[in-house]
Amino acid sequence: MKVRDNARRIQPGPLEYTRQAWMRMILLATFVFLYTPIATLVAFSFNDSRRNIVWRGFTTKYYEKALANDGLIEAFVNSLSIAFVSTFISIILGAMTAFMLWRFRFPLKPLYEGAVTLPIVIPEICMGVAMLVFFARIGWPTGLPWPLNLGQIAIAHVSFSFPFVAVVVRARLASFNPEIAEAARDLGAGEWAVMRDAVIPHMRPGLLAGGLLAFTLSLDDFVITFFTSGPESVTFPVKVYSMVRFSVTPEVNAASTVLVVITVTVTALALWIQNKQSSEARG
Amino acid sequence: MTGDLGSENRTPADKAIIRINSLSKNFGTIQAVDGVSLEIQAGEFFALLGPSGCGKTTLLRMLAGLETPSAGSIIIDGEDMSRVPANRRPVNTVFQSYAVFPHLSVLDNVGYGLKVTGIRAVEVRDRAEAALDLVKLEGYGARMPDQLSGGQRQRVALARALVKRPKVLLLDEPLSALDAKLREAMRHELVNLQETVGITFIIVTHDQEEALSMADRIAVMDRGCVRQVAPPAQLYEFPANRFVADFIGSVNLFEGIVSAVDGAEMTVQAALLAAPLRISQDKGFAPGTRVWVAIRPEKINMTKLGVGPALRLGDDNQVEGIVEEITYLGDFSTYHVRIARPTGLVKVAAANFDRATLRPFTWEDRVVLRWNSNSGVVLDS
Amino acid sequence: MARQRKHPLVFWVSALPPSLWLFGFFLAPLAIVWVLSFGEKRGLIDVEITWTLANYVRALDPLYLGVVAKSLWISGVTTVLCLMIGLPVALGIVFAPGRWKPILLFLVILPFWTNLLIRTYALIAVLRTRGYVNFTLEWGADTLGLPFEPLALLYNNAAVVIGLVYVHLPFMVLPLYAALDRMDKLLIEAALDLGASQLRAFVTIVVPLAVPGIISGVILVFIPALGSYLIPDLLGGTDSQMIANVIERQFKRANDWPFGAALSFLLMYLTFGALAIRSVLAKGDGGLEAK
């Protein structure tokens, strides 16, 4: 770190770009650009006016309206259900993938690794199209009762979520001390006991962070869900989309704010866990 | 409770608890261990010593069952354990990183090896607590590993291994991660622990001080082979070859040819010395054999020319030189004396009996070096 | 790491479920779409796979080629704008005092966590004729006594670009930050010491060292922008259609699934092409990878 003596505190030094006015202006302008839209959206969810432009007073009535909107609530419940199912399956599949890639060598491994990363890289619309065509082609049953009618969406969500979980868990496994597994074996543990007592405890923070990531990915998804959902299986973002297209009221703002709060909280939690695990003392 | 652990393991003295026969391990084209044969006695404190890459850790891991030998066999207490997996051997390991399970408490860590072999919870707890007492960690049972210091974690690892009452305890570089003060204390503790418990200890180390001070016998290894197995003193005073002579402590090696053998005495003509070397050692070398005479720095007597007896013509075991370098180490100093160019530097170590200002030697002094006929060792490899 | 033969049971138990899922619910669907792209419509729903290339040929029709070209153009402009804004921002964060750095980074990435749909919707309120930008400009014009004509910032290409920049800016800042943060500040001091001006030092020292970050950022912005659907859909006008919108139309309205399938795969080939260029460029830089 550089030491600055008091004499130079008045004028910023040549490298202290950030203390120069123009840099600060740029940063400020950028942050204003990034946050104004969201901030106004949240603010105007409390606006007592249908037209959403001029502030007319504080009210929570649009939140009440949103809560009373059956379609919206149903969509929200659908989104949560799908998110939980998708997260659960993604964690399991992602953990297996990460473990298998970390532990074993096998022929064509780079090809396999590429295939697992494909869902992350592929444009969302291509995946949405693939899911739509697939379910139509194989004649996936339609008109199933809730919650089975959410199956298509959940499957699609798992497909693009579990590689993310795998990436997170694999990063966590990279810091595993192999002597811990050897110690377990040395003390008498069989193969599965070593997994249970040495590897999985180490994976736990990665599983948690990966699971939270999968949860937000599922909750927020629009494009893929748009292609795999039907009139009977609407999710929250899809519902908000139709509201945006057809009637722009503060109700949409209210619903959006709720979604934003949920996602941000969950993601912050995931980040916090990851931070904690990276500063944990090594055994 | 301290004598409780290990009483079942007191096999009769001089019985080899481990027999290693022509053990080899190669990783692809790399020969890590090359045809090693060793016998380790029950109740011994044994050390595997050598530079990094010599194969000592691989050998230890094969004893633990963490590596499968490419060839050869390992017999532990009469049974061939070469293909027995690690979790079924009566051998336990203290790892270099201690490998304490971070998510388990200290007590759960220590009891882990008992729990996975199906021992009742009550017995697990009692034995684990006894083990903690043994390593002086009583009362630490409820703590988590991240609350412990490195030294404490090591004791947890020790307790965890010992609680299983293994026939052999393996330790991989046990002192390397500790600071100097702690290292010395731990040295004593480990030796005492071994005596109390009576189990065979095998340690792997690259630090000769560690090996010399702790072990009953040391196997010096180099590039996959054992170069010598002996108690510390014998290793130091009577190295079997140049590698061991040079690896343990420092040594002066004079290359020469055996010129005469007279009963138990040998005369060697060295290239760098005008006077011949006379060594009383009965090794059976024939005249004409190329040998090296190894003399330790502290065995050489140095006197200033004109002060002590001068070089006497016809005498052996003497040489004249000039002091080129002095290294002051507090309790003694080492002097590098040049006896010939371009090679020919002899290292002499002398205790600083006199205070610095009174010492007779300084740079550029002409000196005479002398040693006794039983000060050196003749080596042919 | 062990060979899978050492513990076959463990290997297969951990490999089978994800592989089956990947194959059955991802690769197989993609394969079906690929096959579909070689099909022809027979009636309202039926499709016959005739292994024709007609769909791909049709994609090269000036109409659709125009859409592709426009998508590439819009994505390109977006990327350039992100770079122009992102580089100073990244620099600003790199040279910020220590305790500000994580805060600033967090502030940059926080908007990314909010739903894309919601961010886009929020932009509408900002950009439309009676939106905040125009309000501010109107207020400014009134204060200065100037005549005011509201800017048409919505439902056109400009809106799409603004939206794409808005959404993808964090993806440019982060890799740039990562690359620049690794830079040894002493190098700049050395340049200044040797007599270079601030600007010269910046251009000759900072920029070349930031190149791996620039490459990463460009890819992280260009590829998603190319395949974006929501932003052109909600913010764009009738002539701001991008590839994804055309694809969506084939499946939802025009009901021409084979053609949509062909377009999807074309988009994928474009995506992989861009990724391939990136690997080539990254290797050419001596393997300096910035994430």
Domain C56-284 listed as CATH 1.10.3720.10: yes
Query: Quick one: which of A254, A236, A187 has its CA closest to A42?
Result: A254
Instruction: Tell me if A263 and C113 make a contact (CB, 8 A cut-off).
Output: yes
Count how many pairs of residues, chain A against chain B, have C-beta atoms within 8 Å.
Answer: 81
In whole angstroms, how far apart are CA A118 and each of A127, B168, C27, C221? 10, 51, 9, 17
Same domain, B228 and B104: yes
What's the per-residue H, E or C state across A166-220? HHHHHHHHCCCCHHHHHHHHHCCCCHHHHHHHHHHHHHHHHHHHHHHHHHHHHHH
Least confident of B169-183, B186-200, C56-70, C132-146: C132-146
Same domain, B366 and B298: yes
For residue range A159-170, what is the model confidence (pLDDT) as tens digits? 999 999 999 899
Contact A207, B85 (CB under 8 A): no
Q: What pLDDT sits at residue B314?
A: 66
Domain identity same for B206 and B284: no
Residues C20, C25, C27, CA angle at the centre, nearest 5°?
85
Contacts of A280 in chain B (CB under 8 A): 102, 146
Higher per-residue confidence, A154 vs C49:
A154
Could you tell me which residues come within 8 angstroms of residue A198 by beta carbon, excluding any fewer than 6 positions away?
A180, A181, A183, A184, A189, B101
Count up the domains in chain B and report the number: 2
User: Does one domain contain both B50 and B160?
Assistant: yes
Distance CA C247, CA C238 (A): 15
**B267 and B338 share a domain?**
yes
Residue-level pLDDT at A95 = 94
CA distance A101 to A109: 8
Task: Please give the C-alpha separations between residue C28 and each of A113, A230, B163, in angstroms, as whole numbers.
Answer: 17, 22, 55
Strand B301-304 versus strand B265-270 pairing type: unpaired
B294 and B324 share a domain? yes
Residue listed under structure tokens 């969506």: C248
Residues B202 and B311 in one domain: no
Exposed, middle or buried by CB within 10 Å (0-12, 13-18, 19+), for B168? buried
Taking CB atoms and an 8 Å limit, are A179 and B96 in contact across chains? yes
| Contact state of B87 with A183 under an 8 Å Cβ cutoff | no
CB contact under 8 A, C264 and A125: yes
Same domain, residue pair B225 and B267: no
Provide the 3-class DSSP secondary structure of residue C74: helix
* Among B208, B276, B207, B202, residue whose Cα is nearest residue B239: B208
> Which of C83, C114, C187 is the best substitution to test chain A (most A C-beta atoms within 10 A)?
C114
Check whether residue B239 and residue B259 sit in a common domain: no
Which residues of chain A make contact with B111, given a CB cutoff of 8 A?
none
- Kindly report the CATH number assigned to the domain that includes residue B348: 2.40.50.100
Strand ranges of the sheet holding B30-41, from the earlier edge strand across to the other edge: B30-41, B16-27, B71-76, B79-80
Ordered by where they begin, the domains of chain A are 69-278 (1.10.3720.10)
Please choose, from the candidates B37, B44, B46, the residue with its C-alpha nearest in 3D space to the C-alpha of residue B13. B44
Nearest to A180 among B65, B101, B117 (CB): B101
From the list B66, B98, B113, the residue facing A187 with the nearest CB is: B113
- Flag if B92 and A187 touch (Cβ within 8 Å): yes
Same domain as B98, residue B40: yes
Structure tokens, C176? 């740039």
Task: Name the neighbours of B, counting chains with at least 3 Cβ pairs within 8 A.
Answer: A
**B344 assigned to some structural domain:** yes
The pLDDT confidence band at residue A52, using thresholds 50, 70 and 90, is: low
Decide if B195 contacts B169 (C-beta within 8 A): no
Contacts of A182 in chain B (CB under 8 A): 66, 86, 93, 95, 99
For the beta sheet containing B345-351, the strands, ordered from the edge strand earlier in sequence to the opposite edge, are: B301-304, B366-370, B318-328, B332-338, B345-351
pLDDT for A11 beyond 70: no
Domain, as residue range, for B190: 7-243
Interface contact flag, A186 B93, Cβ < 8 Å: yes
In a domain, B370, yes or no: yes
Residues linked to residue B26 through DSSP beta bridges, in sequence order: B31
Is B100 in contact with A283 (Cβ distance < 8 A)? yes
Chain A touches chain B, with at least 3 Cβ pairs below 8 Å, answer yes
Letter string b/e over residues C78-109, b meaning 16 or more CB atoms within 10 A of that residue's CB: bbebbbebbbbbbbbbbbbeeeebeebbebbb
Could you tell me if residue B2 is inside a domain? no
**Residue B99 in contact with residue B157, Cβ under 8 Å?**
yes
- CA pair distance C144, A53, nearest whole angstrom: 23
Query: Where is the domain boundary, B243, B265, B288?
Result: B243
Does residue A9 have a pLDDT over 60? no
pLDDT band of A242, cuts 50, 70, 90: confident
Domain residue spans of chain C: 56-284
Q: Does any domain span residue B1?
A: no
pLDDT at B3: 38
- Of the residues B243, B268, B299, which one is the last residue of a structural domain? B243
* Whole-number Å distance between alpha carbons of C28 and C21: 10
The chain C residue lying nearest A119, using CA atoms, is: C26
- Contact at CB, C229 and A125, closer than 8 angstroms: yes
Question: Is B225 among the domain residues?
Answer: yes
Which other chains touch chain C, taking contact as 3+ CB pairs less than 8 Å apart? Answer: A
User: What does the pLDDT read at residue A278?
Assistant: 61
Please judge whether A30 and C89 are an interchain contact, meaning their C-beta atoms are less than 8 angstroms apart.
Answer: yes
* Residue A283, pLDDT score: 35
B83 and B132, same structural domain?
A: yes
Do residues A211 and A90 lie in contact, with contact meaning Cβ atoms separated by under 8 Å?
A: yes
Cα–Cα separations (whole angstroms), residue B199 to B1, B40, B133, B192, C227: 16, 12, 17, 11, 69
Max mean pLDDT among A84-98, A233-247, C24-38, C256-270 falls in A84-98
Instruction: Please list every residue in chain A whose beta carbon sits closer than 8 Å to the beta carbon of residue C28.
Output: 134
Q: Is A121 on the interface with C (CB under 8 A)?
A: yes
Chain B residue nearest residue A184, CA to CA: B113
Structure tokens at B161: 């291994």
Which tens digits make up the pLDDT trace of A263-275? 888 888 877 877 7
Residues C214-251: tens digit of each pLDDT: 888 888 899 889 989 999 988 888 888 899 998 988 88
**Which residues in chain A are closer than 8 Å to B66, comparing Cβ atoms?**
182, 185-186
Q: Which residues of chain B have pLDDT under 50?
A: 1-13
| Residue B277: strand pairing partners | B268
Q: Which tokens go with B237?
A: 């005073």
Inspect the interface and report whether the beta carbons of A281 and B96 lie closer than 8 Å.
no
Distance from CA of A100 to the nearest CA of C (A): 6
Q: Which of B221, B243, B265 is the last residue of a domain?
A: B243
* B361 is a domain residue: yes
Residue C156 CA neighbour count, 13 Å, CB half: 8
Chain B CB contacts of A176 under 8 Å are none
**Cα A183 from Cα A193, distance rounded (Å):** 12
Give the residue among A133, A114, A116 at the shortest CA–CA distance from C28: A133
Position B13 scores a pLDDT of: 47
pLDDT of residue A10: 45
For chain B, give the secondary structure using H, E and C: CCCCCCHHHCCCCCCEEEEEEEEEEEECCEEEEEEEEEEEECCCEEEEECCCCCCHHHHHHHHHCCCCCCEEEEEECCEECCCCCHHHCCEEEECCCCCCCCCCCHHHHHHHHHHCCCCCHHHHHHHHHHHHHHCCCCCCCCCCHHHCCHHHHHHHHHHHHHCCCCCEEEEECCCCCCCHHHHHHHHHHHHHHHHHHCCEEEEEECCHHHHHHHCCEEEEEECCEEEEEECHHHHHHCCCCHHHHHHCCCCEEEEEEEEEEECCEEEEEECCCCCCEEEECCCCCCCCCEEEEEECHHHCEEEECCCCCCCCCCCCCEEEEEEEEEEECCCEEEEEEECCCCCCEEEEEEECCCCHHHCCCCCCCEEEEECCCCCEEEECC
CB pair distance less than 8 Å for A183 and B85: no
Q: Say yes or no: B207 and B84 in one domain.
A: yes
**How many residues are listed for chain B in this entry?**
381
- B87 → closest Cβ in A180, A188, A201: A188
Read off the pLDDT band of A7 (50, 70, 90).
very low
Whole-structure pTM value: 0.79
| CATH number, domain with residue B76 | 3.40.50.300
pLDDT-derived band at A8 (thresholds 50, 70, 90) equals: very low
Mean pLDDT, chain C, integer:
82
Q: How far apart are CA B325 and CA A83, in angstroms?
A: 76
> How distant is the Cα of A210 from the closest Cα of chain B, in angstroms?
20
Chain A residues within 8 A of C2 when measuring between CB atoms: 103-105
